Structure 1
Amino acid sequence: MIERFIELGQGYGDLYEMLEIMKTNQERIHNTFVFVSEKDGKKVASFAVAMKPVGDSKFMPIYICREGIPYNAEKTSQRYDLFKEGIEAANKILITLEVKHSSAYVETTLYYQYLIGLLRLYHYIPNLG
């Protein structure tokens, strides 16, 4: 299986694009995630959705809105609530993981490899092979 993160952006428009992808591809949703990280004492969230491969393809896209949403577990934001509503409409569960901030890596590619390793370790995406 080949997993690849596809970054949509960090704004409201990008979240709406992700929600539309989820809505029109509900049967393809594998898992949904909130990656929580901290930078300069502030927590931020990344929203992500892993999609099942199409047909005989071995490609699993993982759409992500990276670190653009302030995160507070006690008081959720409007974007968090919208994402959660989209997940509930698709009859899926939200998986929340505490992760390192992407600024800890020299390149975004290395950050995404780190996330793929975590997702594979916890069996949230299929194993290699």
Structure 2
Amino acid sequence: MNTQRFIELGEGLGDVFELCELIRTNSGRLHRAFIFTTGESGVLSLAAAFDPAGEGNFMPIYICREGIRGNGKESARVTRFREAATQAGATPIPVEVRPSKDYSDRDQYYRHITGILRLNHLIPPLR
């Protein structure tokens, strides 16, 4: 069975740099990159899903959750993320999701996003 789990890095600029570095150093494992948007509340989350390492069944999805305000123009953090993903051969996929504040706990929020990604065949189903 594949295990897919979100790993939060944080919301700040340094966290986005770390996510970009993870993409660069693991470019061969990069499955997909995502930009989660929350519509009316206008916050963005950046995320990258990686294929399992070696013979493992663990698919990590690193995320910088809701740390970027969407104000109509692209921030430098989003531009850096796009560049890192492009250099690794991926185009970040925009996915609209509900904001995390709509959920009673973070696990429920991540289950919601995982379901959206699986239904849209953006990450593999559980086996």
TM-score of the pair, normalised by structure 2: 0.96
Any gaps of 5 or more consecutive residues in structure 1? none
What SS does the corresponding residue of 1:19 show, helix, strand or coil? helix
2:50 corresponds to:
51
The whole-number CA distance in structure 2 between the counterparts of 1:59 and 1:91 is 22
TM-superposed CA distance for 1:42, in Å, is: 3.5
Whether 1:96 aligns to 2:94 is: yes
1:21 corresponds to:
22
- What's the C-alpha RMSD, in Å, of the aligned pairs? 1.0
1:4 corresponds to:
5
TM-superposed CA distance for 1:27, in Å, is: 0.2
Q: How many matched pairs?
A: 126
What code does the residue aligned with 1:7 have? E
What SS does the corresponding residue of 2:101 show, helix, strand or coil? helix
What code does the residue aligned with 1:108 have? R
What SS does the corresponding residue of 2:37 show, helix, strand or coil? strand
Any gaps of 5 or more consecutive residues in structure 2? none
| Identical-pair percentage | 44
What code does the residue aligned with 2:65 have? R
Per-residue CA deviation, residues 33-76 of structure 1 (Å, 9 max, x unaligned), is 000014xx54010000000001111100000000000114x411
2:110 corresponds to:
112
The whole-number CA distance in structure 1 between the counterparts of 2:73 and 2:102 is 27
Per-residue CA deviation, residues 52-108 of structure 1 (Å, 9 max, x unaligned), is 001111100000000000114x41111111111111111111100111000000000
Question: Where does structure 1 differ by over 2 angstroms across 4 or more consecutive aligned residues?
Answer: none
What SS does the corresponding residue of 2:73 show, helix, strand or coil? coil
